[in-house]
Chains A and B, each alone.
Chain A
Amino acid sequence: MRYFWLGGLLVLLASACSTTPVPQAFAPVRLRWARDPETLDPLALPNPSAVDANNLLHLSLLQIDYQRTTYAPALAQALPRAHWLGDSLALLDYELREAAAWDSGQPVLATDVDFTLKLMQCPGLPNENSRAQFGFIREVRIDPANPRRFSLLCRSQGQEILTTSGDFSVLPEASLDPERTLRSFSLAALQDWPAARPPAPAVAALVQRYQQANAARHPNNIPGCGAYCLDDWETNRQLRFRRKKDWWGDKIQPTPFVLQARPRELVYAILPDDAAAALALRRHELDVYPQVPARIFQQLQASPAARQDFVFYTTPSYDVLTVGFNTQRPTLRDKRTRQAISYLLDPAGLMTATQLGQGRRTVGLLRPDNPFYNDSLPLPIYAPARTTALLRQAGWQRGADGQWRQPGGAPLALTMRYRAAETNFATVALQLRAAAAQLGIAITLLPSENSVVTTSLETGDFDLYVRLVKGNPFGVNFMPILHTDAIGTGNLPRFGNADSDRLLAAISTEGNLARKRQLLRRFQVLMREEMPLLPLFFMPYRLAASRRLQHIVAAGIKPGYAAMALSWPASPAPAGQP
């Protein structure tokens, strides 16, 4: 009797967390995010969660079609038609869908696109990234005869502008600039506005209005034309998005994949810890768990109960684990030395150790299923004997103390930088250090905090690094990471010369597929020979989801699934039955 109160308390607790009933057709779909989006300002979007949320609230001219792994028209009626002007400009013709409308019922017009691009150039807003990313669009030419038709004048002839030119959230001019003050400025004038010169009063007033709207925290203050609105946001706990009742996308039949919005509610639970997220999935507090770590994925798959409740997907992503070399360091200036070190890395063993064998090995930065992949090149392998031979060819000699020296030089010793607390990077670094030590090459590991690593890599303060090169399936432009113009920013190996720059520029602009294939095969051979970086393998994306969910589209692009396509069956199946 004296412990009656304890029993009562346990009953109360157990009743409060009783098992979740079988979800109904309109039940919310609950998904896991590892972190809070922090801001929902459509101009900022600093992390993947913010990008996911933004795609629910706003729409772009073109959106990613996860089913076909390509960009597809969303607000735009069709993909743009390109006209190449001279040798450096392009004109892209777009037309907006007739049905596309804001919540007020007003149509989405070319003036909204023009306004959005100008807003990206207004100083004082968190738009520095958008400004750099879309600075290549110089002018929006609106068709006087059709307010939905316009052309974007672009300062680039790269093939990727056909898709990137339409990949920004279009914002409503009527809500943010009802007096249309930005129309008196050209886009080019705003782009070229000197940093030291104060902004025009009209621009300053608009910036102030935008800041007062506080879209970062209250995104509904800037009505989007996306299918969802934010219903509730508990920072670092959960975000709830509710589908709009009268959304314009429903009027388009058949509804294209990028405009499908099936779940009535999407609830994103912020669970930073993977073990806790896996338990939440098992307890049916989550329906979708993307980016599952290898070990947890294996444990879930091994559990008969979990196999009964969930389906599992493994898709190769476009993120490739890479080891980079500082090509400007005296010790690594000779490509044979870089090649020698690359033979000390064991891609097959590392893929087994870090990803349980899942993932995809590669000869270069292109995925093996890419039509431009050079399958004539051999996969990189662990071959210490070749390291020894290549080092000798590069003029290194092994001394009596076991160390390698060039005549009159210091011993071959290298430093390797990577982000701390990243176990995959640490495993690569430790494997290389162990393999190098056996040959008498000392490698000092320098794991550091993210910003320290980035600063060190951008300023060239390293010999080797490990990082993930995040790619995409939409284009093959490697200029941001290998062009000499990008040394000090994205070109971390500080690689390049006039020839390689020409090749990279040609790849980015070539429209003819046969010629592009030739160029890209040459590029992959060049990368293998010069060895500025060694791609080890493409990482897999792993997804676990409730077996009852329908229309699960697992993709190799972040977030790894199409949230708006998910749905529950119309009539619930009996509990426990798949």
Chain B
Amino acid sequence: MVRWLLARLGRAAVAAWLIASLVFIGSRLVGGGPEQLALGDAADLSSPTGGALTLARQQAAQQAVRHRLGLDLPLFYFSRMAHPPVQWQWHGPANQYHRWAVGLLHGNLGYSYRDGQPVSTLLGRAVAYSLPLTGSAAVLAVGLALGLGLYLAPGPGGLRRLLLGLLAAWQVTPLFLLALGLLLLFANPDFLNVLPGSGQAPEEASSFELASYWLARSALPLLSLVLAVLPELTLPLVALLRHELSAGYATTARAKGLTAAQVLRRHALPNALLPLVTTLTDLLPSLVAGTVVVEVLFGLPGSGRLLAEAAAAHDYPVVVAAVLLSAAARLLGLVLADVLYFLADPRLRPPA
């Protein structure tokens, strides 16, 4: 089992590396972005200049930006000459990919093009915002899904039907609409003005006041995330529980005198949970990658927003590091799903 686990983790690490390498090379093949970001718009007249910016001067400035960011080095160990005759050229270790890979092996994710800060610092700061939010949302959503699943599984009923309908409606509602609806509902002076959508923590506040502020501040983002993921977890669980309840062993259990609730919790639930493991581990990348929509709408500086803004600004070092982190989380999620399967059902374990 340990050997299997190590092999899976090793394969996951290699896959994450390959994904990050592809993103690294692909992003740099686009070209133009970092130079434009640094030099601004040549057709912008809002800050008057001493004459027209000539093509030669612009190219010189672009070259200076590329040199400062290390983008003037060859991209990879070898390249093909752009002009005929077709020839391959070997660049040795003086290339962008080698520098990035060596840096990564030394724990250096590089520096942001936008502000020159270490990517690890930027990413760490953003994940510190996202992780508690998405983590709590995941825990809450799982708890609620279990509760709702157990309540809705036994069968038809007015309230149950209504709840199932609501969950189905939520499932097809885009997250931005859901979050915006909550914002307009609970943080709107024209309606219910009970929760803050943005705002600053009170200055010179006691720890209780700060905790209260953050509790209130995170209520709407948390609610948005929980409501967004709840149908995805609950509806399959209800279907699985109902399937299990109709199985022969459940009938036998009831015949032996167990109550419907006992059958549901002790017998049907453990069997129904197994397929849910995959859904749960699928949530893992979102924990570190954050959710852009919620972070933008509620003005939270999380990792989803960091990644989206870095991609828009062609800040490749941040993009590559965030992709690496998300890929690692995804692959770890898959390994975790396998481990949970093995624990839940020993028949699935790999041969020793």
**Are both chains from one complex?**
yes
A residues neighboring B (CB under 8 Å)? 10, 12-17, 30, 35, 38-39, 41, 44, 46, 123-126, 128-129, 131-136, 154-156, 158, 160-161, 163-164, 167, 195, 211, 214, 216-217, 234-238, 267, 269-273, 275-277, 279-280, 282-283, 285, 303, 305, 318-319, 449-451, 454-455, 458, 467, 469-472, 474-475, 477-481, 483, 485-492, 508, 557-558
Report the nearest A residue to B57, measured CB to CB: A132
Q: Are A160 and B116 in contact (CB under 8 A)?
A: no
From residue B123, how far is it (CB to closest CB) to chain A in Å? 11
Q: Are B305 and A236 in contact (CB under 8 A)?
A: yes
Q: Are B188 and A279 in contact (CB under 8 A)?
A: yes
Q: Which 10 A-B pairs have the closest CB atoms?
A: A236-B301, A136-B50, A16-B212, A16-B216, A490-B42, A488-B55, A285-B199, A39-B115, A479-B52, A486-B52
Q: How far is the CA of A269 from the CA of B54 in the complex (A)?
A: 38
Q: Quick one: which of B30, B55, B198 contacts A487, CB cutoff 8 A?
A: B55
Q: Quick one: which of A39, A454, A485 contacts B54, CB cutoff 8 A?
A: A485
Q: Which residues of B contact A267 (CB under 8 A)?
A: 200
Q: Does B135 make an interface contact (CB < 8 A)?
A: no
Contact A472/B46 with A129-B38, A234-B301 known, Cβ cut-off 8 Å: yes
Q: Are A280 and B197 in contact (CB under 8 A)?
A: yes
Report the nearest A residue to B193, measured CB to CB: A283
Q: Are B39 and A480 in contact (CB under 8 A)?
A: no
Q: Which residues of A contact B60 (CB under 8 A)?
A: 195
Q: How far is the CA of A450 from the CA of B34 in the complex (A)?
A: 12
Q: Which residues of A contact B300 (CB under 8 A)?
A: 236-237
Report the nearest B residue to A272, measured CB to CB: B296
Q: Which residues of B contact A277 (CB under 8 A)?
A: 198
Q: How far is the CA of A319 from the CA of B43 in the complex (A)?
A: 12
From residue B33, how far is it (CB to closest CB) to chain A in Å? 4
Q: Quick one: which of A305, A472, A488 contacts B189, CB cutoff 8 A?
A: A305
Q: How far is the CA of A37 from the CA of B116 in the complex (A)?
A: 13
B residues neighboring A (CB under 8 Å)? 30-33, 36-55, 57-58, 60-65, 67-68, 114-117, 122, 125-126, 180, 183-184, 187-190, 193-200, 209, 212-213, 215-217, 219, 296-301, 305-306, 309, 312-314
Report the nearest B residue to A156, measured CB to CB: B50
Q: Which residues of A contact B30 (CB under 8 A)?
A: 451
Report the nearest B residue to A17, measured CB to CB: B196
Q: Quick one: which of B52, B64, B67, B219 contacts A131, CB cutoff 8 A?
A: B64
Q: Which residues of A contact B38 (CB under 8 A)?
A: 44, 46, 126, 128-129
Contact A13/B215 with A155-B50, A472-B46 known, Cβ cut-off 8 Å: yes
From residue B21, how far is it (CB to closest CB) to chain A in Å? 22
Q: Quick one: which of B44, B65, B114, B194 contacts A10, CB cutoff 8 A?
A: B194
Q: Which residues of B contact A557 (CB under 8 A)?
A: 46
Q: Are B45 and A481 in contact (CB under 8 A)?
A: yes
Q: Are A454 and B212 in contact (CB under 8 A)?
A: no
Q: How far is the CA of A474 from the CA of B45 in the complex (A)?
A: 10
Q: Are B219 and A480 in contact (CB under 8 A)?
A: no
Apart from A17-B213, A160-B49, what 12 extra A-B contacts exist at CB < 8 Å?
A13-B194, A13-B219, A16-B213, A17-B194, A128-B64, A132-B57, A211-B116, A238-B200, A273-B297, A283-B187, A479-B51, A508-B51
